Amino acid sequence: MALLDIKDLTVRYTGRGREIEAVRGVNLSLAPGDTLGLAGESGCGKSTLAMSVLRLLPASARIGGEILLDGEDVNTMKWGRLRAVRWTTAAIVFQGAMHALNPVRRVRDQIAEPIVLHADTPPPPAALRRRVDELLAQVELPAEKGESYPHELSGGQKQRVMIAMALACEPRLVIADEPTTALDVIVQAQVLALLSRLVTEQDIGLIMISHDLAVLAATCRRLAVMYEGRLVEEGESAAVIGRPEHPHTAALAAAFPTVGDPEYRYAPATSSELGLPDPPPPPSGEPLLRTEGLRVTFTGRGRSVTTAVAGVDLEVHAGEIVALVGQSGSGKTTLARTVLGLQRPTAGRVVFDGTPLPTGTRGLRAYRRQVQLVLQDPTSALNPRHSVYESVAEGLRIHKMPGDERARVAAALEAAELRPAEEFMPLLPHQLSGGQRQRVVIAGALALEPRLLVADEPVASLDASVRGEILALLLRLRARLGLAALVITHDLGLAWNIADRVAVMYRGELVEVGPVDEVLRSPTHDYTRSLLAALPTLGTPAEH
Amino acid sequence: MTAPSPRALAWRRRGAAFAAGWKQYASQRAGLVGLGLLVLIVLLAVLAPYISDQQGLDVTKATGGRMEPPSGEFPLGTDRVGRSVLLLTLWGARVSLLVGFVATLLSIAIGTIIGILAAHYGRWVSAGLMRVTDFFLVLPSLVLAIALSTVLERGVGTIILAIGLTSWPSAARLVRAQTLTIEARPYIERSKALGGGHLHVIGKHVLPAVLPLVFVNTTLAVGSAIVAESTLSFLGLGDPDPMRPSWGSMLRSAWLDSAVIAGAWWYLLPPGIAIGIVVLAFTMCGRALEAVLNPRLREG
């Protein structure tokens, strides 16, 4: 008998006079010990589907169809029975481990919580302790870590704690909702390997949700793709990725490029009729931006000194796209802020177009017309009270740019491919999609006619299909306006997609700099090699 | 046909937002009752010179007897010198409301400026300004107000200054906290990267985001300013001119004239109840506004 059997499930959210159909007639079944990956973009209903298995949906949700967990319908369970089933039969590894853990309790107590809750008689403290130690060992954490508070653990360790929590009551089904989204490639690879090992060892059924097909392919035997609340494709992972039948699956698969495959070089997935420009000739002459021995240190409380950037020499030529790659905490964002003059260097200097970065207010203002910033999350990078027009015109007004403001705004919006510009001007950020918001941020930067764009994880918070469009836009802007870009990312695929050169940053230093083809195909530094090795790839199916 | 200018569009959007806000406000009965009471009281106070005769406040021209109980001629009785208590209460509203509004505006203005500056500049500016704020916060405000009114000339101006200078610290703390959360948003960073200076960031991003909170706080603070005015007047620090009575000074003279012993309840109750009603009305309006302007409260 199947462990989980979902029959014709529909979920509707009602409220404020309108109805949203999040899940529309999904059929799914999972055998014990089987692994299923659930892929789809944000808003496709994949999280709703997962939460409905344990009836964790908000009160406004109307559920139709059947969810059979071990042959028992979750929807008709009494409250007491549902409580017993939650965590003992099926457990969830929640998205964002940093928010799902209680910051004021030791992780040992948090792991023990479900065990105590579900025991008929409270287990003796010694036995409980042994059990938690055992769980910590299973997720490869030393027993002492149990005494830590969540803020003392790294992101990967917190995610391990979450997994230990999910395993506490020996469930037969584990649902992992984007378990690695906020993690680095290397940590992500470790967490994925751990999940796969536990699932095979303990014969647990696993449903893993992600928007990244490569991540799912690395852990799951089967793959299901959701689109607008429906299951559009289901099958063996390798088959689904290798021969996608639904166009949406193909788009998802294409969005995450294979590093090293020439097919994806300078070719982010885009369906725009504007096409992609030819690869540019190699730049020559004086670099546009140069950092010389740049160091940034922070003095914390108790006089402890943290070195974020430890002597970086980096060059960006006119019309060149340089990708700065590294793990979180490697100092790449600090480097970007220093280049923009938002952070003062402790030592060394930034040279732009032959002159050192000014320190005065007036000089910096003039400098910032030339160098513009594109932030990671466009939703928070736009003032929610300002219309598109006002956001784009903000820079023009600051610098009192001559000429017709309206014409300049329209031109910038056109350049960011928001057409027709007139229609977008009066809209507020919440009326736009994520990709459109990022285009508005880019338009705001373009309005000032900069020569260098510093983009901090420009596509990290965007959906797979939008990702390629924004990257293609950057390539087209470079070809048309000769715009140079310093793109900061943890995603090697992005570097492979658009960058000319790549700089690998590790612990505040650049360990390897060179043309993308060379560095990513034949890395010389160990760290670059481990970054490449940690990439989940679509080509190699999971080992079972 | 040319498209409407972005400025006109922005105003149209604000108009629509205001209409939506009003609809939400109107759905709260307490807020409507409070607003109705306030409009009535403010109208009466503003129109006092037209609907009554100020000469009735002149002690030398008082027509009534000494502490007469309510009658047809004097619906709320008379005070010790024979003036109509109804007339006194009506004219008292002018002083009380004036002090309440102006003192609140003063205190909120100081609080908003200090709060925004402290949060925006951070470091030693914040440390310095917040220590000053803490100093005023721990100081018993009544004592400070009494000290100020004894040093300065007695009068409405002094009372306004005394209340304004003692009640701003809580507003400053509130505005600083709100500013800090706004300043942490990435759009502030974007604005700085665009080249925006301090004035631009504060004027375009911080102030508009902080204003709703300031507005709600103002409404709630008027009530306490009116109470503070009454307290100071009751203690004898108010305007000594009998032609400009306030509710606090009415209570003071009622107490000095032993109205309780004389059984003259009509002398004591009207100003006291008036203070209560006005403060309640402001609080009801403030709470309703808070529910409209602070979305976090609405979710709960």
B196 with A441: Cβ contact below 8 A = no
Position A506 in a domain: yes
Same domain? A165 vs A179: no
Which amino acid makes up residue A116?
A: V
pLDDT of residue B200: 87
- The chain A residue lying nearest B185, using CA atoms, is A380
For chain B, give the mean pLDDT: 82
Report yes or no on A82 lying in a domain.
Answer: yes
Our CA dihedral for B79, B82, B84, B89, rounded to 10 degrees, sits at: -40
Q: Please report the residues numbered 165 through 224 in chain B whose beta carbons come closer than 8 angstroms to any beta carbon of chain A.
A: 185-187, 189-197, 200, 204-205, 208-209
Of A122, A150, A170, the residue at which a domain comes to its end is: A170
Residues B195, A368: C-beta atoms closer than 8 Å:
yes
Whether A449 and chain B come into contact, CB under 8 Å, resolves to no
Residue of B nearest to A377 (CA): B186
Inter-chain CB pairs, A–B, below 8 Å: 73
Q: Chain A contact for B14, CB < 8 A?
A: no
In terms of domains, do A332 and A474 share one? yes
Does B231 touch chain A if contact means CB atoms closer than 8 Å? Answer: no
For residue B84, which of B43, B51, B55, B41 has the smallest C-alpha distance? B55
Question: How would you classify the pairing of strands A305-316 and A289-299?
Answer: antiparallel
Task: Mark yes or no for CB contact A375/B189 under 8 Å.
Answer: yes
Same domain, A336 and A441: yes
How far is it, in rounded angstroms, from Cα B34 to Cα B39?
Answer: 9
Cα–Cα dist A320/A307, whole Å: 28
- Chain A, 338 to 377: residues with Cβ < 8 Å from chain B are 340, 342, 361, 364-365, 368-369, 372-373, 375-377
* Strand, helix or coil for residue A206: strand
Whose structure tokens read 């607003």? Answer: B35
Instruction: Compute how many other C-beta atoms are within 10 angstroms of the C-beta atom of residue B163.
Output: 30
Between CA A225 and CA A231 the distance in angstroms is 6
Chain A (399-428) residues lying within 8 Å, Cβ to Cβ, of chain B: 399, 406, 422, 425-426, 428
B9 — contact with chain A (CB < 8 Å)? yes
Q: Which pair of structure tokens corresponds to residue A9? A: 């499930």
- Amino acid identity at B216: V
CB A424 within 8 A of CB A413: yes
The residue out of A256, A275, A304 marking a domain boundary is: A256
How near does any CA of chain A get to the CA of B168, in Å?
A: 28
Are both A153 and A187 inside the same structural domain?
Answer: no
Q: Which of A385, A387, A444 sits opposite B9 (nearest CB)?
A: A387
* Domain co-membership, A318 together with A448: yes
Q: Which two tokens stand for residue A122?
A: 């409270």
Q: Please indicate, yes or no, if residue A272 is contained in any of the structural domains.
A: no
Residue A118 and residue A37 share a domain? no
Query: ∠ at Cα A409 (B207, A445), nearest 5°?
Result: 70
Whether residues A180 and A161 fall in one domain = no
Residue A11 shares a structural domain with residue A145: no
- Which residue from A398, A469, A484, A465 is spatially nearest to A439, judged by alpha carbons? A469
CATH at residue A11: 3.40.50.300
SS3 content of chain A, % helix, strand, coil (to 5): 40, 25, 35
Distance CA A396, CA A531 (A): 41
Last residue of a domain, one of A146, A170, A194: A170
Residue B252 has pLDDT above 60, yes or no: yes
Of B6, B186, B196, the CB nearest to A398: B196
For tokens 């692994």, what's the residue?
Answer: A35
B10 within 8 A of A390, measured Cβ to Cβ: yes
What distance in Å separates residue A225's CA from the closest CA in chain B? 33
**CA-CA distance, B91 to B46, in Å (whole number)?**
9
Domains and CATH numbers, chain B: 22-282 (1.10.3720.10)
The answer to whether the beta carbons of residues A5 and A173 sit under 8 Å apart is no
A residues 525-544 lying closer than 8 A (beta carbon) to B: none
To test the contact with chain B by mutation, choose from A373, A437, A488 the residue with the greatest count of B C-beta atoms within 10 A, namely A373
Nearest one of A378, A310, A375, A371 to A340, comparing CA atoms: A371
Q: Minimal Cα–Cα distance from B178 to chain A, Å? A: 15
What pLDDT was estimated at residue B113? 92
- Nearest chain A CA: its distance from B55 CA (Å): 53
In a domain, A217, yes or no: yes
Q: How much is the pLDDT for A1?
A: 67
User: Does residue A367 sit in the same domain as residue A305?
Assistant: yes
- Which of the two residues, A140 and B10, has the higher pLDDT score? A140
Return the residue matching tokens 């004592």: B143
Q: Across the interface, do A365 and B204 touch by the CB < 8 Å criterion?
A: no
Portion of chain B with pLDDT greater than 70, in percent: 95
Residue A278 lies in a domain: no
- The minimal CB distance from B186 to the residues A375, A399, A445 is found for A375
With CB atoms and an 8 Å threshold, state whether A389 touches B193.
Answer: no
Q: Which two three-digit tokens encode residue A432?
A: 């736009």
Give the pLDDT of residue A543: 39
Domain assignment of residue A33, given as a range: 1-89+171-256
3-state SS, residue A501: strand
CA distance A254 to chain B (A): 30
Count the residues in chain B.
300
Q: Quick one: average pLDDT of B156-174?
A: 85
| pLDDT one digit per residue (tens) for chain A, 544 residues | 688 888 888 888 876 667 778 888 888 888 888 889 888 877 788 888 888 888 888 878 888 888 888 888 888 888 888 888 888 888 888 876 667 888 888 989 998 988 888 888 888 888 899 999 988 988 888 888 888 888 888 777 888 888 888 888 888 888 888 887 767 777 788 888 888 888 888 888 889 988 778 888 888 888 898 888 888 888 888 888 778 888 888 877 777 777 777 777 777 777 666 767 777 666 667 788 888 888 888 886 667 777 888 888 888 888 888 999 887 778 888 888 888 888 888 888 888 888 888 877 788 888 888 888 888 778 888 888 888 888 888 888 888 888 788 888 888 888 888 878 888 888 888 878 778 888 898 888 888 888 888 988 888 777 777 788 888 888 888 888 888 899 988 888 888 888 888 998 888 888 888 888 888 888 888 888 888 888 776 554 433 3
In this structure, the answer to whether residues A308 and A395 fall within a common structural domain is yes
Contact A398 B195 (CB under 8 A): yes
Examine residue A273 and state whether it is found in any structural domain, yes or no: no
Q: Is A274 exposed, middle or buried (0-12, 13-18, 19+ CB in 10 A)?
A: exposed
**Domain tally for chain A?**
3
Sign, CA dihedral A459-A462-A465-A470, equals negative
pLDDT of residue B300: 36
| Mutation target among A369, A394, A452 for the B interface, most CBs of B within 10 A | A394
B93 touches B44 (CB < 8 A): yes
Residue B39 banded pLDDT, cuts 50, 70, 90: very high
Q: Which residues of B touch A444 (CB under 8 A)?
A: 190, 194
Q: Do A342 and B192 count as a contact with CB atoms less than 8 A apart?
A: yes
Model pLDDT, residue A542? 38
- Examine the predicted complex and report whether its ipTM is higher than 0.95: no
Judge if A478 and A454 occupy the same domain: yes
Q: Is residue A281 part of a domain?
A: no
Residue A271, in any domain of the structure: no
Question: To the nearest whole angstrom, how far is the Cα of A387 from the nearest Cα of chain B?
Answer: 8
Residue from A377, A458, A439 nearest B184 by CA: A377
Indicate if A165 and A177 belong to the same structural domain.
Answer: no
Distance in Å, alpha carbon of B157 to nearest chain A alpha carbon: 39
